[in-house]
Every structure is written in C-alpha cells, then in structure tokens.
Structure 1
C-alpha cells in the first residue's frame, strides 16, 4: 500500500506510540516520530523491528518537548495528521498537580496550535479512562458521555488527563478553524512489550510474576491490548465517522487484580507460581502506603468498580478488540522474553 500522507506521532518512543507507528507504516503512511531526544531514534527503530517493521524508508524523526512550544511547529511541518500520545506519566516523585497538569495541558495546546499552523486535517488525542470515570460512581458501565468530576479524590494523573482533554475540545471549538479532532480513552493497557523499557501499566503483571505482589489490592478495572489501542487510533484518524468523537478502548468485562492473577496462573502454569492467590483488605493497603509511597497512587481507587463500554467504537468504527486474557498473556510472555521476570 502506498500513501504518501505523513503522520506526526508524538511521544514516539512510548508503548502506545510505537504500535501506532507500526500500524501506520503497515498501512502505507509516512511517519514522523516526535521524541524528546534524537538519541532515542535507534531505540525506537529497535522496538519497531521487534514489532515486525522491516524498512524505515517511510520513517523520520523530530526532536520535540512538551515544554517547548516552538519545537512542535517544526515537528508538524509537512504533516497531514497528528496522533498525540505524549503526556506526563505517573511517577512517585510527582508531588503536586502542576507536575502533571501543566505539561499535559500545555503539551496538548502546543501540539494543536502547531498542527493547525501546518494545515493538519485531523488530530487524534490519546486521553485516558482517567478522564472518564473518576470523582463519580456508577453501577452501569462508563461511556464516552461520562467525564471525570475533578474533586479531592481525583489523583494528579487523572486530573491531567481530564483537564488536557477538555482543553483540546475547547481549542477545536473556539480556535480550530475546521481542523478535526478524535479522542481515544484507553483503560489499563497491556499486550506485548517491544523492549525492556515499557509502560507503567505493565508493572502489575511484572510484580505478580516476580512475587513482589504478595496479595492483590481490591481494584476492578477494564483492560485493553496495546495493538487494539493502536488500531483504534488508526480508525479514529482515517474514518470520517470518528470526527468530533471520543472512543473508550476496553476489551470485555472489567477484572479484579485477583482475576488477572488467576489468568496468569491458569495460562502460564509453573511460570506464574508466585502470582498472588488472595486479596488484601483495603485498610492493609492504606497502612502499607504510609511506608511505601508507590502505593499512594492506588489508595484512592480501592474498592471502586470501574466498568466501561466499548460499544461505540465497535458499532461506529467496526473495531474488534482481542480478549482481555490474550492481552494479559501477551504482556506476560513478552516480559519473560525481555528477562523482566
């Protein structure tokens, strides 16, 4: 397939971005991968090779940073589409809302302004389920109509995703001048990693297999395979029906952490013998969190059931994700392959 249209993919060395690049190259598009430092270009190529890409003829790189607006103008030049995956990710050093919110919101606006200046047709923004389901409670599955209500219970990462996505929609409405926007809101992303440098969302599988997680916190959420997230981005970019729409990316029913562990034990046998077999009470997690700051990020979510529906993406775009079990097993097998277990 030949298609000489160029797509700027931001956060080009990231988990979701690398699979978006693979999908675009396999469908004949040219890709310009935006990365913070061009020193990472070889790592990106290595990951793409792991994902089956043989030729880099249609791949180029641009150096761009979420905190530097002018870098995005150069990056967007000559591009017809943008897939904006770059965003600050959760880390335990983040003490204030500003550590997440300011770079996330500014980054979105920098990219949108640069895209508009370059004459880009459509931007696809990677938001998150974190912009959909927090600060509220529903017995029924969350849909694209739902928005996180920002209050004291909402952690900085979810705040950043909510505020930056709303900023994107406001920009399109007030200053878009005809540029189109689609948004993808993934739940917890699993699936096969392409290198030993992988997304924070796979930590749970690694900790279960390594025996670091002695018991499961009471968390229930949706999961999705990264390959299906990339496919949904592609559909959101290319299909006319996707303009102006949000799409939740989730496969099947929400699972508890204990159910995830059970899938690993069932599918991987003795390799998963360290995976936990019991749930820990919420008070115990809260107590541990006093001494282990990493646990602070999950405390606000304890006991919450976060179900989501992907019906819109399926019916409007014909999207068909893999099963949750396949995403969990693929994540585990790839972590083993890269000697992370």
Structure 2
C-alpha cells in the first residue's frame, strides 16, 4: 500500500524536489499551498522532470499563519514533512515579527498532526539552529548535539527564527513523544539543480558573485549541500525507525569558500563569470567594520564560525551518502541559473 504523506510548502525549491522523489517511490502525496493557483504550475514542473504519476499528487489549501485547512490537509495522512516556512511580503519590522510566525507555524503543524494521529513528522530546520556558537574552536567538530547561541553577535533574524522554531518543536514533542515521533533535518546552504526557475535563498550568494554586486570577495568558508541530497535525507528520516527523536545535519563532505566558488565558476562555467571580480576583501576589513555595521557583523560571524561539520549521523543511522561534492553542487546551481536565465 502506498505511503500517505503530506508535504507542506510543496511548490518551493526543496518541497518540489521532495515531492518528486516521493512520487518516484510510489507514495500517495498531498501538499499544502497558499493558493490553488499554484497547482498546475507544480504539476507541469514535475511532468517536465519525468514524473508521470502526478495523479498520485493532491492539493490542500493551508497557511502557516492560520488554523484553517490543516485538519483537512492531514486527514488520512500517516506522515508529514514540515518543509514550509512563513512567507513575508515585506521585511519584518522586528525580531518578534519574524520569530513569532515561525514558532506559531511549526506549533500549528505539530498540533494538527497530533489531532489527526500522524505517525511521524520530519521538520526542515536549518544549520543556523546548530552552527552558531560563541565558544566552539576551529579544532572542534560541529554535530547535531550542538545548538546555536541565540545571543551570538551577528546572528540574523532568519537564523534566530529557525533556531527558536526548532526548539519550540522539540519542547512540544517532548510532551507528546508517546503519541507521535519526530525528527529534524538541518541543512547547510542548499544548492544543486532546480526543477524550475524557483530557487532557494542560498542562491543569492552565487547571484551576488556572478552579477558583480560583490565587488570584493571575502575569504568566507561555506558548507553546501545538493537539494536532491536534502530531499533524500528527509525521506530516510521519515521511514527509518531509528531516526525518531534525532536531528540530522545535511551537508556535503568538506567545505568550499566563496573565493573557491568564484575560481570554480571562472574555470568551469566561463559563460557565467564575466562579472565576477578578482578583488579580495581582507579579513581585517570585516573585523574592523563589525562593531559599526550589521552586514560586517554578520560577515564576521560567518567567517569565524566552525565549518568542521559532521554528517556522520545521517550516514550511520540513515545509510545516507551525499551524491554530489561541494564543487558539483555549486556547478549544478549555476547550470540551473543559466538554464532559466537567472544570471543578469
């Protein structure tokens, strides 16, 4: 019998890839959308990418900001992938305006799942909930046991919202662990190929490199992961019994810096590299600017954070292996940007 799953936010960069892989394994998939106007677009995207059984995909209207529609969306579902994040049509005016919707959104999803006797929820969290700590040296390894310090200087509102939303989710599930199992996936910067012109926020790093808006390139190390690998971890976390109660960092092995990304694109995708600067931004400029400039403060945090990231838990418990190296992941993202004319 086909697994009955719900994917929240199925029209997004990760959500659509997750639905594609679930349909490939024969699952009965329902996804939430904020408007049914997006239905045909997703179906066409999946069909354009080789999915023939789109009759096994259904849609429900539900929004993280409202209780409406969630019980109908979860009716008869056994498994729920909580992928969607709150949508802001303008920049939040305060931390509270960003954090409260994130916390309320995941709480709304989990409460509805509990009411409808769902077996397991897998939540898409973020490496931002793991990797930003004041006191982790470069010789230490960052694992799923780590939690971001919400007061670390330079932490973005987005990262803080993901941290507090995940903490709220675990707190709620600790009180209901006998009723439903729960796991989280904590991806680093998600790149890789897009199924359509809809890309993730992480692509802004590449966009800023290739459109020339990054006038000097900092020595900024990054951990990246292919969107296909992130979807794969989600599915394994859902259907592996031993995954209950666990967090899973989704990251390709090793790391790649912004300067290495720039060199890679120049060498392997010269048609996208015409505007990439060769100028470098020295570390001391970021350090000097951090006390006075929010962007420099965030840059210093990114520069100094521990990038010695372990993905062993996903490998050991889930039997997962990343299909793509960091370089392959970046190039696949550039290829998608070229394919959909997103490089200006």
Common fold: TM-score over 0.5: yes
Task: Give the aligned partner of residue 336 of structure 2.
Answer: 334
**C-alpha distance in structure 2 between counterparts of 1:174 and 1:138, whole Å:** 34
Where does the alignment leave 5 or more consecutive residues of structure 1 unmatched?
Answer: none
Q: Give the stretch that moved more between structures: 7-16 or 204-213.
A: 204-213
Task: Give the aligned partner of residue 137 of structure 2.
Answer: 138
Q: Give the stretch that moved more between structures: 63-72 or 230-239.
A: 63-72
Q: Give the CA deviation at 1:212.
A: 2.6
Task: Give the aligned partner of residue 176 of structure 2.
Answer: 175
Pairing 1:1-341 to 2, within 5 Å after superposition = 3-88=1-86, 93-136=91-134, 137-139=136-138, 140-153=140-153, 154-282=155-283, 298=299, 300-321=301-322, 322-341=324-343
For the 8 Å contact 1:221–1:305, the answer to whether it is kept is: no
- The DSSP-based 3-state class of the residue aligned with 1:200 is coil
Q: Give the CA deviation at 1:116.
A: 1.1
Aligned residues: 339
For the 8 Å contact 1:89–1:157, the answer to whether it is kept is: no
Q: Give the CA deviation at 1:214.
A: 2.4
Q: Give the CA deviation at 1:205.
A: 1.5
**C-alpha distance in structure 2 between counterparts of 1:27 and 1:220, whole Å:** 36
Q: What are the superposed Cα offsets for residues 88-123 of structure 1, whole Å, 9 maximum, x if unpaired?
A: 378982331123211111111110111111111110
For the 8 Å contact 1:282–1:303, the answer to whether it is kept is: no
Q: Give the stretch that moved more between structures: 189-198 or 12-21.
A: 189-198
For the 8 Å contact 1:38–1:63, the answer to whether it is kept is: yes
- The DSSP-based 3-state class of the residue aligned with 1:252 is coil
Q: Cα 1:219–1:296, aligned 2, differ >3 Å: closer, same or farther?
A: same
Where does the alignment leave 5 or more consecutive residues of structure 2 unmatched?
Answer: none
User: For the aligned residues, what is the CA RMSD?
Assistant: 2.5
**C-alpha distance in structure 1 between counterparts of 2:298 and 2:96, whole Å:** 16
- Normalised by the length of structure 1, the TM-score is 0.91
- The DSSP-based 3-state class of the residue aligned with 1:124 is strand
Q: Give the CA deviation at 1:293.
A: 8.4
**C-alpha distance in structure 1 between counterparts of 2:172 and 2:27, whole Å:** 27
**C-alpha distance in structure 1 between counterparts of 2:219 and 2:306, whole Å:** 9
- The DSSP-based 3-state class of the residue aligned with 1:328 is helix
**C-alpha distance in structure 1 between counterparts of 2:99 and 2:216, whole Å:** 32
- The DSSP-based 3-state class of the residue aligned with 1:69 is coil
